Structure 1
Amino acid sequence: MIHLKNISVHFKQKNREVHAVKNVSLEVESGDIYGIVGYSGAGKSTLVRIINLLQHPTDKSSEVIVDGKNLLSLSQKELRKERKKIGMIFQHFNLMASRTIADNVAFPLRNSGLSKAEKEEKVEKLLDLVGILDKKNSYPIQLSGGQKQRVAIARALANDPKILLCDEATSALDPKTTLSILELLKEVNQKLGITIVIITHEMQVVKEICNKVAVMENGNIIESGNVVDIFNQPKQALTRDFIRTATHIEQAEKKILSHTKEQVYELKFSGRHTADPIIVEIYKRFGIVADILYGNIEFLQETMIGTLFVTLEGKVELNELEAYLAEQDVTITKINKKT
């Protein structure tokens, strides 16, 4: 569906050259909800604007292939036509204050060739889909932040796009409203078959909705793949930091380490072994008593991922224990106090 190849973006800023994106390649398959996560300045927003060529790559070898077409080879007229297949929503909604909610959603349909009655019917269907049909005659100032974002989603869907780009679309919302918007996006993906690309600095957003993720740092993608695999076995330090914050493990670790002088170990489980009696088996096989200090289970793409913080009593042969746990798809890591 989306193939970005050798994407680089350089520009000058206050007499210095900024390398916003550095030779990045990315593939998003049809039907994906693909998250691109990174801190501010990582290059993620610049990268997503490449998808509809609101930002052009600066490297001549770059390719932007969307739905089988290389957008860089199209004329302006052809590009405008292809852009209609790509909806976009933003952090700050960008609604027209002087127009009703229905008129905001109808705005992209002004040159669609639909009759007035057909436009009204389509607008009502879209507002019903996003759950605010009763607000069609209201104005943006009368809506909450979550309701405004629902309007923005309905407007982005007006031209029946195949792709929806979400640039920090939940950053201005409270946690409860964020979850409701993410549920709506998941529903849009499932009901309409729309491929969604989400730009965010919050791994919590990725955890809730995405099936794939790419982590960006300093213009590079440092890690990418299936969300379950990335959460279960992150390879990069930044990815681990994002995940531990999103799953609240970081806070738990700090509290545990501040209240115990014993060596603490982290056990990570996934899939079918999450519910297995591993602690009992450790005692039976090795005579080691595992005292559980903290436990957590996350559900990602219908897969359970579990985390335990434990202390171990008995003669611990870590190599033997590691080997046994690896056979059960469980990893064990010694947690050191940070100085």
Structure 2
Amino acid sequence: MIELNDIVVKFPQKGHVVTAVNHVSLAVDDGSMYGIVGFSGAGKSTLVRVMNLLQKPTSGSVIVNGTDLIALSERALRKERRNIGMIFQHFNLMESRTIFDNVDFPLKGSGISKVERRQRIEKLLDLVGILEKKDAYPYQLSGGQKQRVAIARALATDPKILLCDEATSALDPKTTIAVLQLLKEINDRLGITIVIITHEMQVVKEICDHVAVMEEGKIIERGEVADIFSNPQKPLTQDFIRTAGHIDQAETTILEHVAGEDVYELRFSGSRASEPILIDIYKRFGLTANILYANVEYLQNKPLGTMLVTFDSSDQLGEVEQHLQQDGISMSKVVR
């Protein structure tokens, strides 16, 4: 369990003070895959560094697995950090060392025998799918392979928590999916708590079970991923979700080709995702809808759907919207 209580982080900058994290409290359950999403400057990377005290907060408390990290001595903190692995956007591998030696580095001085270390390293390299590269050097690897090495290195001390700070930002889309699938596999197989910092809601959608959205140093929305995606409350969260679902792109394309007609967006979840909504509208109100775009996807086994439609008449649309809202379906006019 990670507990951040009323965290504030301030930095002096050019004669004034910048508040990077502004009274944030957050709890991450054991075994969770927790995403923290926000644009650059939102404070998310600063917040994740507070979790292992790479960044000491100006005020607040940091409790990890029942231990108050701020109260520890430097020596005790170094020992506690062995339970918290971390991977970064730019890998931070040592170019002059082999892949094997990069993964071995955190185990120096651990008291583990060379035989045990070799067994552990080879097991980790096999887990991340790169054992055959153990004698290679970082410059001989692709970006995705380097990140796999970084993940193996972060797991070398057998941590209970893995912090990922923009771990896929430097990767192409195909490699990003592969690395995210690897993180999900690690979470499933090893039960490690994983916290993912990202500016892409698509990353959260792929593997996280919980998400917190940050803006200007504060958490503005949080909850289970399926609940946030099905009913986002804040404009920033709505924008992130629309981008992740490619809804904004679909709307732009449709509006370019549909002239003189109003386009409406319907969003629905749960059992309603498999029901004939438009047939119900026709039976109740006599309105026919033309589907311009439709998509259903599953998050945490919960179906979420989006449709872009036009209606053959504007009569009774107010009643239609009210009826849909009663059934938990949102309807909004797409603004040109």
TM above 0.5:
yes
Q: Which residue of 2 aligns with 1:37?
A: 37
Selected match of 2:248 from 250, 264, 271: 250
Offset at residue 85 of structure 1 (A): 0.4
SS in structure 2 at match of 1:170 = coil
CA contact (8 A) 1:6 1:25 kept: yes
Backbone CA RMSD of aligned residues: 1.2
* TM-score, scaled to structure 2: 0.97
**Structure 2 counterpart of 1:154, which letter?**
A
1:209 equivalent in structure 2: 207
Q: How do 1:60-209 and structure 2 match up within 5 A?
A: 62-209=60-207
Q: Describe the SS at the equivalent of 2:176.
A: helix
Measured in 2, the distance between the counterparts of 1:99 and 1:315 equals 68
On the 8 A contact 1:287/1:314 being kept in 2, the answer is no
For the residue of structure 1 that corresponds to 2:240, the secondary structure is helix
Counterpart CA distance in 1 for 2:315 and 2:3 is 49
> What amino acid is aligned across from residue 320 of structure 1 in structure 2?
E
Shift of 1:331: 1.4
The CA distance in 2 between the partners of 1:336 and 1:201, in whole Å, is 25
Question: Segments of 4+ in structure 1 off by > 4 A?
Answer: none
Report the 3-state secondary structure (helix = DSSP H, G, I; strand = E; otherwise coil) of the residue aligned with 1:299: strand
2:222 is aligned to: 224
**How far did 1:35 drift?**
0.6
Shift of 1:203: 0.9
The residue aligned with 1:311 is 310
Unaligned runs of 5+ in 1: none
More displaced, 14-23 or 128-137? Answer: 14-23
Counterpart of 2:296, as a letter, is I
How many residue pairs are counted as aligned between the two chains? Answer: 335
**How far apart in 2 are the matches of 1:313 and 1:66?**
58
CA distance in 2, matches of 1:212, 1:245: 18
Aligned partner of 1:303: which letter? K
**Shift, 1:120, TM fit:** 0.4
User: Structure 1 length as normaliser, TM-score?
Assistant: 0.96
* Change over 3 Å in CA distance of 1:131–1:83 after alignment to 2: same
Distance 1:106 1:77 in 2: 21
Equivalents in 1 of 2:271, 2:189: separation in Å? Answer: 29
Letter in 1 for 2:87: I
Identity %: 64
Shift of 1:23: 0.6
Q: Which segments of 5 or more consecutive residues in structure 2 lack a partner in the other structure?
A: none
Using the TM superposition, give the Cα deviation of residue 98 of structure 1 relative to its aligned residue in structure 2, in angstroms: 1.1
What is the CA deviation profile of residues 115-159 of structure 1, one whole-angstrom value per residue up to 9, with x for unaligned ones?
111110000100010001111111111110000000000000011
Structure 2 distance, partners of 1:256, 1:32, is 38
For the residues of structure 1 that align with 2:107 and 2:335, how far apart are their CA atoms?
Answer: 59
Q: Residue 55 of structure 1 aligns with which residue?
A: 55
Find the counterpart in structure 2 of residue 263 from structure 1: 262
